Structure 1
Amino acid sequence: MFAIRQLIRFGWGQALSCVFPVAIFASLAITQWISLPWLPRYDWLLVLCLLMQWFMVRSGLETVDELKVITVFHLIGLMLELFKVHMGSWSYPEEGFTKLFGVPLYSGFMYASVASFLCQAWRRMQVELIQWPPLRLVMPLAAAIYLNFFTHHYWIDVRWWLTLLVIIVFWRTWVTYQVGRVRYRMPLSLSFVLIGFFIWIAENVATFFGGWEYPNQSDAWQIVHISKISSWLLLVIVSFLIVATLKMIKLRTK
């Protein structure tokens, strides 16, 4: 019974941390099933995301500091979207007034929702890191992972080498989190894999509701290729490293 209660507590904390991503999925589903008036679908999605972001801060579900972090991720994600759509990796085939070079502005909120989850789960679960490597290793690694999303179109894809570097750099790093009065821990690399896997599942839901479209989904929806887990894994690593670094810098400046 204790294990069941702990699992329920853990699930509830994760559910609260996923409010923003769930709101995006709900918006995708609603706008897919119901034709809203006056604006194209992508524009309504932007309006709904902005309203949700306002509600998150206004209600106290997100702090102002977390909003700053999330805004950074919105911009990072939008830059990646602009490049990937230009290279034909995926597309947004519907019309919209708020599209920039083929990319609807609401797309940045999908990356921001990942940062929202990380920030809220960090706060609710009282996350702590054990044997975190020095910043001189963490920051270049995060930059190299992000740049590889761009450079592999022109050069070799070094994602597996970068994954190996992540394992080496974070081999001794553990993440601890609290559920109720009990603290648990797991290897940080395992947490990367788990989050990346669940984001891949979320990606399948998002593409099913027409959030965006891969080339092989132009005629009919198909499950996103399992190889995309590696891409989300690396993106989660970048997201986590940025959030962790910003939180540590904030602690040191207090």
Structure 2
Amino acid sequence: MRNLLLFAYLQALCCIFPVIIFTALALSKFVSIPYIPRYDFILLICVLGQVYMLVSKLETWDEFKVICLFHVIGLGLELYKVHMGSWAYPEEAISKIGGVPLYSGFMYASVASYICQSWRRMKLNMYNWPKPIWAVGISVLIYFNFFTHHFTYDIRWILKCLLLIIFWRTVVTFELREKTFKMPMIVAFVLIGFFIWIAENIVTFLGAWQYPNQAEAWSLVHIGKISSWFLLVIISVIIVASLKRVKHGTSLVE
């Protein structure tokens, strides 16, 4: 029970930045903010939250650099998906580019923030990590499939089969009260994707963005989206793991 409570506490600390975004979404949905469009208000809160994370040292500068990379990756995906009609941001804002408000990049960055902080706070280690050519190669294929499946064959099931082969032997370990626990890496990917799907239902209810079937009234996000988040989480973890391997050698990823 003590380990479970400690695990929950550490997870809560790792989710501080996502909580800041949730708070901004909830506040701006139920309270009218004068003189500033809602999406711009959310962007302002996200920027202030990012500054707070750095000043308070809840986030390191190395983690901030990784998060900036996720801003770029996320905004690129958002611009394309909104253009293709996968989802929309219906409200007006000064900070919208191509129909995408700039605060959307922070939602991808919050996933990176969670991964980086979990890695540091829970002393994560990866064992039997695939060779860089396989790890980086599969992440590139996953990312491009998010774009190409709109006009060619969707290969996500092929990618999932490849992921099972590539990460079949990979395990992640974490520490609680000087005890080491381990979990298959694929299971960790699925669990994170599932909880992001739950968070997605909350933020779409709060109006963060809108799927076509939610235009008239909010409805549950299709359960198939867990698959998309599962794949996106894999890209995120591979990027973070690859950067850490470059900086620290094989001490964190083996």
User: Fold-level match, TM-score > 0.5?
Assistant: yes
Q: 1:112 aligns with which of 92, 109, 114?
A: 109
Q: 2:235 aligns with which of 207, 232, 238?
A: 238
Aligned positions, number? 251
Counterparts of residues 52-67 of structure 1 (less than 5 Å): 52-67=49-64
Q: 1:81 matched to which residue of 2?
A: 78
- Residue 249 of structure 2: SS of its match in structure 1? helix
- Establish whether residue 227 from structure 1 lines up as the match of residue 207 from structure 2: no
What amino acid does structure 2 have at the position aligned with 1:176?
Answer: T
What amino acid does structure 2 have at the position aligned with 1:134?
Answer: K
Distance in 1 separating the partners of 2:157 and 2:175: 32
Q: 1:210 matched to which residue of 2?
A: 207
How far 1:252 moved relative to its partner?
2.5
- Residue 77 of structure 1: SS of its match in structure 2? helix
Q: 1:97 aligns with which of 78, 82, 94?
A: 94
What amino acid does structure 2 have at the position aligned with 1:163?
Answer: K
Gap change, CA 1:164 and 1:253, over 3 Å in 2: closer
What amino acid does structure 1 have at the position aligned with 2:138?
Answer: L
- Unaligned ranges ≥5, structure 2: none
Q: 1:161 aligns with which of 152, 158, 175?
A: 158
Q: 1:195 matched to which residue of 2?
A: 192
Distance in 1 separating the partners of 2:195 and 2:218: 19
What amino acid does structure 2 have at the position aligned with 1:198?
Answer: F
What amino acid does structure 2 have at the position aligned with 1:189?
Answer: I
What amino acid does structure 2 have at the position aligned with 1:62?
Answer: E
How far 1:101 moved relative to its partner?
0.6
Identity level (%): 57
Q: 1:151 matched to which residue of 2?
A: 148
- Residue 172 of structure 2: SS of its match in structure 1? strand
What amino acid does structure 1 have at the position aligned with 2:75?
Answer: L
- Superposed CA deviations along residues 207-229 of structure 1, whole A, max 9, x for unmatched, are 00000000000000000000000
Superposed CA RMSD: 1.0
Counterparts of residues 4-153 of structure 1 (less than 5 Å): 4-153=1-150
What amino acid does structure 1 have at the position aligned with 2:133?
Answer: R
Distance in 2 separating the partners of 1:157 and 1:178: 38
- Residue 62 of structure 1: SS of its match in structure 2? coil
What amino acid does structure 2 have at the position aligned with 1:28?
Answer: L
What amino acid does structure 1 have at the position aligned with 2:169?
Answer: R
Distance in 2 separating the partners of 1:207 and 1:29: 11
- Superposed CA deviations along residues 6-26 of structure 1, whole A, max 9, x for unmatched, are 000000000000000011011
Q: TM-score, normalising length from structure 2? A: 0.98
Distance in 2 separating the partners of 1:141 and 1:91: 28
- Unaligned ranges ≥5, structure 1: none
What amino acid does structure 2 have at the position aligned with 1:102?
Answer: G
Q: Which runs of 4+ in 1 moved over 2 A?
A: none
